[in-house]
């Protein structure tokens, strides 16, 4: 048995556990996507707001849209902060 085959076996043994874990995760996500492909009916959750007058519905929808917009901006800000931290860390290293 050559050193090349020994090294290949060693590397295969090291990476077999993460690869099997990733294969299980892929199988699980494929099964989950079949269940969630039906979608969510949001009108059941927001039916309370349909009983309000029109101007109050617009206020509630504006609030919900602003919350979604501001949270997406916070996510972008957090991602950029991580990006700049990695960039500065790699420049220092």
Give the count of domains, the chain. 2
Residue 38, pLDDT score: 63
pLDDT of residue 82: 93
Same domain, 85 and 67: yes
pTM for the structure as a whole: 0.47
In a 13 Å sphere around the CA of 42, the CA atoms on its Cβ side amount to: 2
**Mean pLDDT, 10 residues at a time, the chain of 93 residues:** 85 86 86 63 76 86 92 96 88 65
**27 and 49 part of one domain:** no
Asked whether residue 35 falls in the same domain as residue 49, the answer is no
Instruction: Give residue 1's pLDDT.
Output: 63
Angle at 78 between CA 76 and CA 82, to 5 degrees: 115
Are 46 and 85 contained in the same domain? yes
């Amino acid at each position: 048995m050559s050193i090349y085959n020994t090294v290949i076996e060693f590397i295969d043994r090291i990476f077999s556990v993460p690869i099997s874990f990733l294969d299980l995760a892929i199988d699980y996500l494929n099964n989950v996507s079949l269940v969630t492909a039906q979608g969510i009916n949001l009108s059941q959750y927001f039916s309370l707001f349909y009983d309000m007058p029109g101007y109050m519905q617009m206020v509630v929808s504006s609030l919900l849209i602003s919350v979604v917009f501001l949270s997406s901006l916070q996510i972008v800000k957090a991602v950029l902060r991580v990006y700049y931290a990695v960039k500065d860390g790699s420049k220092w290293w």
